[in-house]
Amino acid sequence: MVKKSQQTSAQGASGVIVSHFGVAVEVLFQNEERRMVRVKRNSGHVVGDQVRVVGEVLERLPRRTELRRSDARGGVHMVAANLDVLGIVVAPGTPAGFLDRAIVAARAAQLIPFIVFNKCDLPEARAQSTELSGIYAGILRFFTLSAVTGEGLDPLRDYLHEGHRGAFVGTTGVGKSSLLNALCPDINLKVGELSDDQNWTGRHTTTVSSLHALAGGGELVDTPGFRDFGLVDISTTELVAHFPGFEALEQNACRFHNCRHRQEPGCTVRDRVGSGEINNDRYQTYLALLTEVEAIEEAAQRRHWKK
Ligand X SMILES: Nc1nc2c(ncn2[C@@H]2O[C@H](COP(=O)(O)OP(=O)(O)OP(=O)(O)O)[C@@H](O)[C@H]2O)c(=O)[nH]1
Task: Confirm if 120 and 153 have CB atoms less than 8 A apart.
Answer: no
Which one, 124 or 131, has the nearer CB to ligand X? 124
- Min CB(102)–Zn ion separation in Å: 23
198 binds, among ligand X, Zn ion, none (CB under 5 to 8 A by kind): none
- Judged by DSSP in three states, 103 sits in helix
173 binds, among Zn ion, ligand X, none (CB under 5 to 8 A by kind): ligand X
- Min CB(83)–ligand X separation in Å: 18
User: 230-259 mask for Zn ion (x: CB under 5 A)?
Assistant: ------------------------x----x
Which one, 91 or 254, has the nearer CB to ligand X? 91
Tell me the torsion sign for CA atoms 58, 60, 22, 44.
Answer: positive
Eight-state DSSP code of residue 261? S
Q: For binding to ligand X (CB under 6 A), which residues are involved?
A: 118-119, 121-122, 146-148, 170, 172-178, 227
The reply to whether 158 sits in an annotated binding site is: no
- Sort strands 24-29 and 34-38 into parallel, antiparallel or unpaired: antiparallel
The reply to whether 209 sits in an annotated binding site is: no
- Dihedral angle over CA of 281, 285, 287, 291, nearest 10: 160
The reply to whether 175 sits in an annotated binding site is: yes
- Dihedral angle over CA of 99, 157, 45, 5, nearest 10: -170
Among residues 261, 273, 283, 285, the one that binds Zn ion under rule CB under 5 A:
261
- Min CB(146)–ligand X separation in Å: 4
178 binds, among ligand X, Zn ion, none (CB under 5 to 8 A by kind): ligand X
261 binds, among ligand X, Zn ion, none (CB under 5 to 8 A by kind): Zn ion
Which one, 9 or 171, has the nearer CB to ligand X? 171
Task: Confirm if 37 and 82 have CB atoms less than 8 A apart.
Answer: no
Task: Confirm if 107 and 242 have CB atoms less than 8 A apart.
Answer: yes
- Min CB(250)–Zn ion separation in Å: 12
Q: Which residues pair with 212 in a beta bridge?
A: 220
**DSSP-derived secondary structure for 123-184:** TTHHHHHHHHHHHHTTTS-EEE--TTT-TTHHHHHHHHHTT-EEEEE-STTSSHHHHHHHH-
107 binds, among ligand X, Zn ion, none (CB under 5 to 8 A by kind): none
Task: Confirm if 233 and 68 have CB atoms less than 8 A apart.
Answer: no
The reply to whether 138 sits in an annotated binding site is: no
267 binds, among Zn ion, ligand X, none (CB under 5 to 8 A by kind): Zn ion
Q: Which residue in 42, 39, 46 sits closest to 17, CA to CA?
A: 46
- Min CB(254)–Zn ion separation in Å: 3
Q: Quick check: 115 binds Zn ion (CB under 5 A)?
A: no
The rounded distance, in Å, linking the Cα atoms of 80 and 69 is 10
Residues belonging to the binding site for GTP are 118-121, 170-178
Residues belonging to the binding site are 118-121, 170-178, 254, 259, 261, 267
Task: Return residues touching Zn ion (CB under 5 A).
Answer: 254, 259, 261, 267, 269
